[in-house]
Chains A and B, each alone.
Chain A
């Protein structure tokens, strides 16, 4: 039961980034379908956004261990 708090920190902290990833992914697919010739540049931009969102979720992971 002591570890429940740690698990909750990561679990709740991952909700926001999960929505963020969903938006980034769906919008990129949508844009790629509209303009396939831009796919390469869209993908690069997507990875940058993905990396930044991911960092938020991983801060939660580190905090879960730190607490």
Chain B
């Protein structure tokens, strides 16, 4: 068991951002890293998937076109229209991009040598900040800057309560990009750490065979498989949650003036 800290150190090193080409020390994060490599791979995959899916558009699609259409239909109907309302169709390009980018990144991270591009704070917080700017932009575009700021507090609130409500609303808005970014990053990162921990368990108990190995090794392997299936579910769920929360925020910004 004394090898566990060494194995964990190794695991966390594998999952940290490592520069592949150029860049040392401080600059490493700005060069081509192991995460950005798989991020680019995922972007190419998304592009290839939709180019292949939309090349041969038919009334009754088949094969890859069918899959692409089902995915697009899902985001448009059960995210855009169900959450934002009929005018949600306008925001499909933005929400669809987020959904498929995150989904393919998450799923790609489940194939062993690959890392999820969404497993670093850089990617997730960039998206979270983009979402923050977009939904506030939509609100400001609709109401104008001062009216939008005023709409954070329901009209008719007495002045002594209004400033307190305003402060609370301001904090909750500021927390939104933070929680969006943290949620996606931590889900992807924690999942891979969990898988690694059980792999390390199995490795240690195989290296040092003891009576306990009979119980621990099969259990670790079973957990490994179960967690992998769970990770696949989490990958889809997190892409869905990120998109649906973005839709909720956009819907909130659109409704801002009406209550």
Contacts and interface: CB of A to CB of B under 8 A. Distances in A.
Contacts of B82: 40-41, 44
Nearest to A57: B186
B245 interface: yes
A52 B245 CA distance: 9
A59 B182 CA distance: 7
Q: Is the interface of B mostly helix, strand, loop or mixed?
A: helix
A55 B175 CA distance: 11
A58 B245 contact: no
Contacts of A62: 182, 185-186
B183 A51 contact: yes
B109 to A, nearest CB: 17
Contact of A58 (B78, B83, B190, B240): B190
A54 B179 CA distance: 9
A52 to B, nearest CB: 7
B46 interface: no
B244 A55 contact: no
B255 to A, nearest CB: 15
Nearest to B238: A51
A63 B25 CA distance: 24
Contacts of A40: 78, 82
B78 A44 contact: yes
Contacts of A41: 82
A19 interface: no
How many of chain A's residues touch chain B, expressed as a range? 10 to 19
B245 to A, nearest CB: 6
B244 A58 contact: no
Contacts of B185: 62
B178 to A, nearest CB: 9
Contacts of B241: 47-48, 50-51, 54
A62 to B, nearest CB: 6
B66 interface: no
Contacts of A54: 183, 187, 241
B245 A51 contact: yes
Contacts of A58: 182-183, 186-187, 190
Interface in A15-52: 40-41, 44, 47-48, 50-52
B248 interface: yes
A40 B82 CA distance: 10
B183 A44 contact: no
A14 B51 CA distance: 43
A2 to B, nearest CB: 10
B244 A48 contact: yes
Interface of B: 78, 82-83, 179, 182-183, 185-187, 190, 237, 240-241, 244-245, 248
11 contacts: A41-B82, A44-B83, A44-B244, A51-B245, A54-B183, A55-B179, A55-B183, A58-B182, A58-B186, A59-B179, A62-B182
